[in-house]
Structure 1
């Protein structure tokens, strides 16, 4: 059996002031790959950990400006170069009319890029193999405890000295967290293939029934079966079977003055 690799060492506390002071001392000890976990934000923790401003705002700014530039370029190219048209006497590049579209594209691109970058790049989700998942440590720091983790990848990490350092802070509990054994599954697993085939059959039958049967049943067929008149065509709504009607003799439409 292969020896398990250490992911890091954790320590639990039940006092927010103690976890803050511990974070300061860990930073002063020279560790660079470590983190603090708590069930709610702790005032002053960023300063205690020496965290730098997040780069997420930079991503938002870059994609927001890119969205504005892309929108303006597309509208300029369309209205001024590829298919120029004079609309209401305005110039080809009518900037005031382009502002709403530019604003929308800027907001949408900035928002979507922020969410994608936050989850995919900064959080690296879903990270199903994350060693802290399902540990007692993570359960406690998600509820009513505060914890600190020093990763084994840190250049200053040493199992004995790091564990001794954390115990000097009088924690409630310390734990060595190991990397999980990597689990692999065959692609052509019979049960998985049978599941895929079952899903394909169910979806196909459901789609066929919806488009070929359900849409022709009451009340889903009201758009196709409604009484309507097709211009220049025969209809059964009137006795003369004519769809085009002439004005009623001796009447004038309300609000219509033919001879002012």
Structure 2
């Protein structure tokens, strides 16, 4: 990848996760600049990762810039009004990690000529173990897609979608998924403590079990269903526990993803009303 200048608009948790992963993959701090109104937040990123801290105001971008919008979705109209002329005057590639904001809405704010990619990374990106879903508009060139691929593959695995309508579902799964897994870990830990196990041991066992099982599933050509049946002896302890999980787990997973995806669509509608 040729040298890139990466410009973040926003200094929140997602920006931090991406910057952390980029720096671990040896992207120079001086090639990354962060624009945000909070001097505290952008200053903390500058101190920790060696990136350049810049005020929220738009300014002339370096050549060969990739602009990553990592501020709140509802702030996008106001922020892009500020940045619009700057983005249109150059050849910057615009990458949005704003959940629920469609590429059509972005080009309505910036202009049809702007190259736009939507990205939904998740927080494990900060340790290089992320999952990022990407969608590119038709006017995004192959070399631009390659640039985005290399940026986000540096912080984990990348999955391209060819139908933007599926971004809300992908966001509900991978974007919100870490919170689901952490809640599951909490539930396992608390249940073990209620059965008499000390909390330190319960937490360590739950964490290693989930981590090891995920690694096993990733390394195996078998499906999760096949692997599950391999470790479930009829009439055994695993079968007894699974019988309880099966009562509610699948319907809960379906409802959770549906609720998260619907919230993404609702955010898009809110943006339309505010525009």
Question: What range describes the TM-score normalised by the shorter chain of this pair?
Answer: under 0.3
Q: Which has the higher contact order (CA 8 A, sep 6+)?
A: 1
TM-score norm. by structure 2 comes to 0.22
Greater CA radius of gyration, 1 or 2? 1
TM-score norm. by structure 1 comes to 0.23
Structure richer in helix, relative to its length: 2
